[in-house]
Amino acid sequence: MAKKASARAPALRAFQHDSPKKRFDLARFDPKAHPYLSGNKDLDRAAVERLAVELDGLQNLFYADRRYKLLVVLQGLDTSGKDGTVRAVFGQMSALGVHTVSWKVPTETERDHDYLWRIHCQVPAAGEVMVFNRSHYEDVLVPVVNGWITPEETRRRYAQINDFERMLTETGTVVLKFMLHISKDEQRQRLQERVDDPDKHWKFSLGDLEVRTKWSDYLAAYSAAIAATGTSWAPWTIVPADSKTHRNLMIATVLKATFQGLQMRYPTGDQALFGLKIE
């Protein structure tokens, strides 16, 4: 196990972006890459399931420790697998301390506030794991591609997001940001599956096709956002996601390493409990 972990570490570093001073181009990353896979499909799927069980135990310790909070951000184009990641990686965890928010178009009330207002209301409390399915990064992607905000406003939002995430980390929140990176051809196949399967029609919108025509614009917007907001306190991890198993295995591995790096401990029990006999 130790050898496998050390072999994967360089791959993880290669897929991380943690400095706004670095140039970044998402097109340089191969969405079909699979450095976390062994090549044996059955073993890799079993590894995901095993990690999901391990993460449940680690999350229970995290909840008991209560010194930290964990915010997991899942970003990606349509069909990149945000829902699938939630099911495969976080599905075994206790609902006691794990919560998920799927961010949609802002409501009228949310639009009456600044764009981070609704986000701040949902960040994790002590001992909680909060998973964002999409996130505040939608506000520097969709408006940019559609020309709704100026370049100056975009740069202001980048700075505001960095300050917001720094504030979170300085008050005990660990921030993990994952960009689920898929190819245009893989997206085509997944969209076609939704069209062909009546049980998946609810997941398909004709608007998805319009967004698809702006593929290059979205890649550019993601590249710019990641370059501007990949910080030492909240780095981005680029996850090659054409393989669903690789996506899940990579994210679960990063999550496990994050939990273990916190050196969590159970709180000291009430001394009155030692020797207590319940009749």
Q: Residue 277: pLDDT above 90? A: no
Report the C-alpha gap between 242 and 33 in whole angstroms. 8
Give pLDDT tens digits for 93-103: 988 889 999 99
**For 214-226, what is the HEC assignment?**
CHHHHHHHHHHHH
Closest CA to 24 of 239, 225, 217, 237: 225
Q: Residue 17 pLDDT > 90, yes or no?
A: no
Round the average pLDDT of the chain to a whole number and report it. 92
Residues 6+ apart with CB under 8 A from 188: 212
Domain boundaries, the chain: 9-262
Report yes or no: 238 and 249 within 8 Å, Cβ to Cβ: no
Total-model pTM: 0.91
**Which segment of 24-28, 41-45, 127-131, 169-173 scores lowest on mean pLDDT?**
24-28
Least reliable range by pLDDT among 117-126, 154-163, 259-268: 259-268
CATH homologous superfamily of domain 9-262? P-loop containing nucleotide triphosphate hydrolases (3.40.50.300)
222-239 pLDDT per residue, tens: 999 999 999 999 999 999
Query: CA-CA distance, 276 to 279, in Å (whole number)?
Result: 10
Report percent pLDDT > 90 for the chain.
Answer: 80
Phi and psi at 234, nearest 5°, equal -145, 70
| pLDDT for the residue 13 | 57
Categorize the per-residue pLDDT at 206 as very low, low, confident or very high, splitting at 50, 70 and 90.
confident
Per the listing, tokens 């996506």 go with 247
> What is the average per-residue pLDDT within 105-119?
96
